[in-house]
Structure 1
Amino acid sequence: MRMHYNRIAGQNLERLAALSDGIFAVAMTLLILDIHVPEIAQAMSGIIQQPLWASGALQPELALWRALIQLGPRLLTYLMSFLTLGIFWVGQQTQLNHFASSDRNLTWIHLGFLIAVVLMPFSTGLLSGNITIRLALVVYWLNIVLLGTLLYLSIRYAKRAGLVKDEIALEMRSAHERRIISAQIVYAIAVLLCVINTYLSVAVIICVQLNYALVPRIRWLERLL
């Protein structure tokens, strides 16, 4: 009897996890490349008029402080995106640990997920350079939606295809889905706040991410997320 290739392809979970680790590492490293060390000469040229007390040796100090303040939006989006990738890395690894095996379809779902991962440096750079523009924030949010959607498809497909370990209880399987759905709802609410101010949206997103990363014992947050 001839064995069909698609039935034996993409079954190695360890190789999939290794590929994912490498891509996450590269994407998280690329985030910092959008932040450049400020040059004193360029920063000082942007200062048109200096107060009397800032003359002489204080001018480079003042220029550097000003340059660092201007880096604020890029540092903020870097922190947000690093947390985003960290959260989704944990989510993917949690799923892979609960899978008994893989198949071709599940592997391609995760390859699609990794496409969304490598898009994160682009959407981050777009947002950091245009943090006051709502469209840039929406593009960033769509990147998060794509990440969450593919993780959700992964767990749903794995359950339907019988790829989840037998010892994993049904409640634990459902916990994956609830967490993804609740997170996407909260992210959507945060993005809607850009109608008021984009910085408000970014601040709420970071607070949500810190909640996932630090897991504070706040009862109403635990029930929601």
Structure 2
Amino acid sequence: MDEKETSRLEAFSDGVFAVAITLLVLNIRIPGLDLPPSKLPGDADLWRTLGEEWPMLAAYVTSFATIGIMWLNHHRLFTHIKHINTVLVLLNLLLLMFIVFIPVPTAMLAEYLERPDQHTAAIVYSGTFFLTACCFNLFWRYASYHNRLVGKDADSRAIQAISKQYLFGPLVYLIAFALAFVSTPATIIASFALALFFALPPRLPRPLSSNNDFTGLG
């Protein structure tokens, strides 16, 4: 498929990422929204009520940061991918299936974070991130294997550096998944820390200065 088809796939993916991020905000509840004006909480009660909503906000911020960094990675991968085929399109759809599902475990985690059965929600939450990161790895490794769909003049050192960095995503999410059985807050912290880590530009082999800002969650 030509460059036009590659651009279409990227544009479609951008739309799905946008939908996933938008769905996250729908889980945020406004305190007192269903109350009549005469029964709305005062300033003190409103601040207290907002403080009680910290599980929802923590899950929202973590998921927003993760989806945002994943979108950034997906976008930058297409600076290397010059061609697509049916297999890559299907792998991309598999990746997007998990991306757009993220708001579901996010809402679940926000609802159950302070309940006795919170660990189940944390397991589903971190498990979703783990599978998403695995899909990212599969997507990139299929495209870059023997320069299958990247440019023939692609720097092999840069390809290898990106591939190595992508291994951290599934490994850390697997740790977060294990932590979910013990500590739900630790799972959230690990997931958020990974997003922050991959927001920083890694060191790529010189002279690929144009790609030095690549980040990765896969």
Q: In the alignment, which of 5, 8, 12 is matched to residue 19 of structure 1? A: 12
- The 5-angstrom pairing of residues 161-180 of structure 1 reads 162-180=148-166
Deviates more, 1:61-70 or 1:15-24: 61-70
Aligned length in residues: 197
Letter in 1 for 2:140: I
Structure with more of its chain in helix, by fraction: 1
Deviation for aligned residue 1:10: 11
What residue in structure 2 maps to residue 122 of structure 1?
A: 104
CA 1:207 to 1:215, structure 2 compared with 1: closer, same or farther past 3 Å? Answer: farther
- The 5-angstrom pairing of residues 55-74 of structure 1 reads 60-74=42-56
Aligned-residue identity in percent: 31
Structure-2 separation of matches of 1:196 and 1:153 = 29
Deviation for aligned residue 1:193: 2.8
- The 5-angstrom pairing of residues 145-184 of structure 1 reads 145-160=130-145, 162-184=148-170
What residue in structure 2 maps to residue 103 of structure 1?
A: 85
Q: Assess if the C-alpha contact under 8 Å between 1:11 and 1:104 holds in 2.
A: no
Q: In the alignment, which of 29, 37, 41 is matched to residue 22 of structure 2? A: 29
RMSD over aligned Cα atoms: 2.7
1:146-199 per-position Cα deviation (integer Å, ceiling 9, x unaligned): 211121111222134721112221221122322221122122223323344211
Q: Assess if the C-alpha contact under 8 Å between 1:40 and 1:63 holds in 2.
A: no
Deviation for aligned residue 1:9: 10
What residue in structure 2 maps to residue 79 of structure 1?
A: 61
Structure-1 separation of matches of 2:101 and 2:11 = 19
1:193 counterpart = 2:193: no
TM-score (normalizing by structure 1): 0.78
Structure-1 separation of matches of 2:29 and 2:137 = 36
Deviation for aligned residue 1:85: 0.4
Secondary structure of the 2:167 match is helix
Q: Assess if the C-alpha contact under 8 Å between 1:10 and 1:103 holds in 2.
A: no
Structure 2: runs of 5 or more not aligned: 204-216
- The 5-angstrom pairing of residues 130-149 of structure 1 reads 130-132=112-114, 133-149=118-134
Structure 1: runs of 5 or more not aligned: 1-7, 47-58, 218-224
Q: Assess if the C-alpha contact under 8 Å between 1:109 and 1:150 holds in 2.
A: yes
Structure-2 separation of matches of 1:195 and 1:86 = 26
Q: Assess if the C-alpha contact under 8 Å between 2:127 and 2:177 holds in 1.
A: no
Bigger Cα Rg: 1
